[in-house]
């Protein structure tokens, strides 16, 4: 049974612009899905339906067979989203406070909040910076902090919106190590990126969006040859070299 | 040293940081009320006390004062306003009065002590503890939605640094394009306010989405507050000091 299912989704903005049309996909437990496509193809709009930040104009999104809108609190707890710009999602004045933001919203007892925050910071390697102000962190550390804030909610699915944007080589390696580590621990991972060469080796599924429609989806080997048709750079890689498409030493 | 310390929490371990936020709110309210009747001597004593507490609170005064430079223009405008509009004996500068100048300096000093006190409060108290303290007071007033109001005020405090940060970014981007050569004040204000508004709204929108995706609600866990004997002694003592000075001096 899929954990997340999108059925014939359509999304139209209030000004009448059609952002998504006829989107259907199913996410299985343990999947590592990469959603790619040109700027403005609807990638971010699509994933914002996964945790109910946006509601479909037509069609439906189901989390474990239940419409997402039926229990938003549970869905947002289980489907975590790390946004593109970490600066605009940090709400705490210190690393610790920001990580505690989600668990505090869940009204958890203080002791549990403390445990979750400590575990999350430890798992992303930021425990030594817990009293620091987020503004003083590097780009890679801010992305890790954004991830720690999501991990403290104990999600099942983690969505990363352009996780490598603006990061230098060590920053990408740092974030990618976290992502692959979480996948190995059993989390279902969804990455939105147009830089597929950094992480495709780790994915088991690849999906291309173009003008709000799914134009290709399948295994990376099946979809890779068509990437450049839809404006995503794939050269010099070929399906037999997918294993090289990672910035980690695979 | 990171920029943007004014009105921002500065994590340190100090007696000022650990004081129960309910007493800090009480002290701030007492200071704000008393200060507008305070004499010169009382004002200077309160200023010294605020500076002393800032030192105890391990705040980097040198950097803070550097950032306070930004509000010097406001003080200058207030001073000029009083100097030119208050009747009295004429001073060394044509059109101004000696009494007006004195009043201007007094008013600026009062404002400075309040800003310093407010900054001391915000720099040494994390927002979750401020929210918990505010909720405690709001709960004393019947029918008031205490949690909602406390969370709302906490959000405003959270967004204030965002505004300052955006202003800093816009100023840097403009300076990089020689904006300092533009002398027309209206052009300068428009060129700053418009992008500031747009950027802040955009950032606020993304922040709201990110908070929503982390299950944001006003019915959330609040920090637990426990006042010890030292909190009571320091808190009540400090809260009584401004009105006492007002009475004595």
Task: Identify the band that residue B177 occupies on the pLDDT scale cut at 50, 70 and 90.
Answer: confident
- The C-alpha of A220 sits at a distance from chain B's nearest C-alpha, in angstroms, of 29
Structure tokens at B68: 């306070």
Residue in A68, A104, A155 to test binding to B, most B beta-carbons within 10 Å? A104
- Provide the total of helices (H) and of strands (E) in chain A, helices listed first: 7, 10
Arithmetic mean of pLDDT, B191-198 = 88
**A208, A216 Cβ separation under 8 angstroms:** yes
- The C-alpha of B214 sits at a distance from chain A's nearest C-alpha, in angstroms, of 5
B149 versus B173: which is more confidently predicted? Answer: B149
Out of A48, A88, A101, the one facing B214 most closely (by C-beta) is A101
Q: Which residue of B has its CA nearest to A94?
A: B11
Task: Identify the band that residue B4 occupies on the pLDDT scale cut at 50, 70 and 90.
Answer: low
- Contacting residues for B241 by C-beta, under 8 A, at least 6 apart: B30, B49
pLDDT over 70 for what percent of chain A?
Answer: 100
pLDDT, tens digit (0-9, with 9 covering 90-100), for A10-34: 999 999 999 999 999 999 999 999 9
DSSP string, A165-178: TT--HHHHHHHHHH
Longest CA–CA separation in chain A, Å: 53
Give, in order, the Cα–Cα distances in Å from B15 to each of B21, B85, B126: 12, 44, 14
Q: What is the pLDDT of residue A113?
A: 94
**Sequence spans of domains, chain B:** 1-126+227-249, 145-222
Q: What is the pLDDT of residue A219?
A: 96
Task: Identify the band that residue B2 occupies on the pLDDT scale cut at 50, 70 and 90.
Answer: very low
- Please identify every stretch of chain A with a pLDDT value under 50, giving residue numbers as ranges: none
Is the CB of B218 inside 8 Å of chain A's CB atoms? no
pLDDT, tens digit (0-9, with 9 covering 90-100), for B102-113: 999 999 999 999
Q: Which residue of A has its CA nearest to B128?
A: A97
**Sheet of strand A213-218: strand arrangement:** A79-82, A157-161, A188-192, A32-36, A205-210, A213-218
Chain A environment of B158 (Cβ under 8 Å): 91, 93
- The C-alpha of A86 sits at a distance from chain B's nearest C-alpha, in angstroms, of 10
- The C-alpha of B113 sits at a distance from chain A's nearest C-alpha, in angstroms, of 24
Number of A/B CB contacts below 8 angstroms equals 84
Chain B environment of A83 (Cβ under 8 Å): 206, 209-210, 213
**A80, A158 Cβ separation under 8 angstroms:** yes
Out of A89, A102, A107, the one facing B206 most closely (by C-beta) is A89
Chain B environment of A131 (Cβ under 8 Å): 11
DSSP string, B10-25: ----SHHHHS-HHHHH
Q: Give this prediction's pTM.
A: 0.81
- Contacting residues for A167 by C-beta, under 8 A, at least 6 apart: A139, A140, A143, A174, A175
Q: CA nearest B64: which of B3, B14, B5, B8?
A: B5
Cβ–Cβ of B4/A51 closer than 8 Å?
A: no
Instruction: Point out the least confidently predicted range of A186-195, B25-34, B105-114, B153-162.
Output: B153-162
Is the CB of B210 inside 8 Å of chain A's CB atoms? yes
**Sequence spans of domains, chain A:** 4-244
- The C-alpha of A78 sits at a distance from chain B's nearest C-alpha, in angstroms, of 10
Cβ–Cβ of B9/A105 closer than 8 Å?
A: no
pLDDT, tens digit (0-9, with 9 covering 90-100), for B85-134: 888 888 788 888 888 999 999 999 999 999 999 999 999 999 999 999 99
Structure tokens at A8: 């014939």
Chain B environment of A91 (Cβ under 8 Å): 158, 207, 210-211
Out of A77, A131, A153, the one facing B11 most closely (by C-beta) is A131
- Contacting residues for B38 by C-beta, under 8 A, at least 6 apart: B46, B110, B242, B245, B246, B249
* Among B residues 8-37, those touching chain A with beta carbons less than 8 Å apart: 8-11
Out of A83, A91, A153, the one facing B158 most closely (by C-beta) is A91
Burial bucket for residue B176 (CB in 10 Å: 0-12, 13-18, 19+): exposed
Q: Complex ipTM, two decimals?
A: 0.80
Chain A environment of B220 (Cβ under 8 Å): 104-105, 107
Q: What is the pLDDT of residue B1?
A: 36
* CATH node for A4-244: 3.40.50.300
Chain B environment of A101 (Cβ under 8 Å): 211, 214, 216
Arithmetic mean of pLDDT, B157-175 = 82
Q: Where are the strands (E) in chain A, listed by range?
A: 4-12, 18-27, 32-36, 58-63, 66-67, 79-82, 157-161, 188-192, 205-210, 213-218
């Amino acid at each position: 049974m899929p954990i997340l299912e999108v059925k014939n989704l359509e999304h139209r903005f209030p000004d009448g612009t059609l952002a998504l049309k006829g989107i259907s996909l199913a996410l299985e437990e343990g999947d590592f899905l990469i959603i790619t496509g040109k700027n403005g193809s609807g990638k971010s709009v699509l994933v914002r339906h996964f945790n109910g930040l946006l509601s479909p104009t037509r069609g439906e999104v189901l989390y474990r067979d239940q419409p997402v809108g039926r229990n938003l609190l549970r869905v947002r707890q289980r489907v975590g989203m790390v946004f593109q710009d970490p600066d605009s999602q940090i709400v705490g004045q210190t690393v610790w406070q920001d990580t505690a933001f989600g668990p505090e919203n869940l009204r958890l007892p203080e002791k549990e909040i403390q445990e979750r925050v400590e575990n999350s910071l430890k798992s992303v390697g930021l425990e030594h910076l817990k009293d620091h102000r987020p503004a003083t962190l590097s780009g890679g550390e801010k992305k890790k902090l954004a991830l720690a804030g999501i991990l403290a909610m104990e999600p099942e699915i983690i969505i990363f919106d352009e996780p490598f944007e603006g990061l230098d080589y060590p920053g990408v390696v740092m974030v990618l190590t976290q992502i692959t580590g979480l996948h190995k621990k059993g989390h279902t991972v969804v990455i939105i990126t147009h830089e597929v060469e950094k992480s495709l080796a780790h994915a088991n599924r690849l999906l291309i969006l173009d003008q709000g429609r799914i134009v290709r989806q399948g295994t990376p080997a099946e979809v890779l040859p068509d990437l450049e048709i839809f404006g995503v750079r794939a050269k010099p890689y070929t399906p037999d070299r997918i294993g090289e498409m990672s910035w980690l030493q695979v | 040293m990171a920029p943007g310390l004014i009105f921002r929490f500065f994590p340190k371990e100090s007696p000022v940081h650990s004081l129960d936020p309910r007493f800090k709110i009480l002290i701030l309210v007492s200071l704000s009320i008393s200060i507008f009747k305070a004499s010169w001597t009382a004002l200077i004593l309160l200023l010294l006390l605020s500076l002393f507490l800032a030192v105890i609170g391990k705040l980097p005064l040198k950097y803070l004062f550097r950032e306070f430079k930004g509000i010097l223009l406001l003080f200058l405008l207030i001073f000029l306003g009083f100097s030119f509009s208050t009747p009295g004996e004429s001073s060394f500068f044509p059109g101004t009065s000696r009494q007006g100048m004195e009043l201007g300096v007094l008013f600026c000093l009062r404002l400075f002590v309040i800003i310093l006190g407010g900054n001391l409060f915000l720099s040494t108290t994390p927002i979750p503890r401020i929210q918990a303290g505010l909720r405690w007071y709001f709960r004393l007033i019947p029918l008031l939605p205490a949690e909602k109001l406390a969370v709302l005020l906490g959000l405003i405090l959270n967004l204030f640094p965002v505004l300052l940060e955006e202003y800093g970014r816009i100023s840097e981007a403009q300076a990089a394009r020689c904006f300092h050569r533009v002398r027309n004040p209206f052009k300068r204000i428009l060129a700053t306010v418009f992008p500031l508004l747009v950027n802040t709204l955009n950032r606020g929108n993304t922040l709201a989405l990110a908070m929503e995706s982390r299950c944001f609600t006003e019915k959330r866990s609040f920090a637990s507050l426990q006042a010890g004997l030292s909190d009571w002694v320091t808190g009540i003592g400090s809260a009584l000091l401004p009105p006492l000075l007002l009475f004595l001096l």
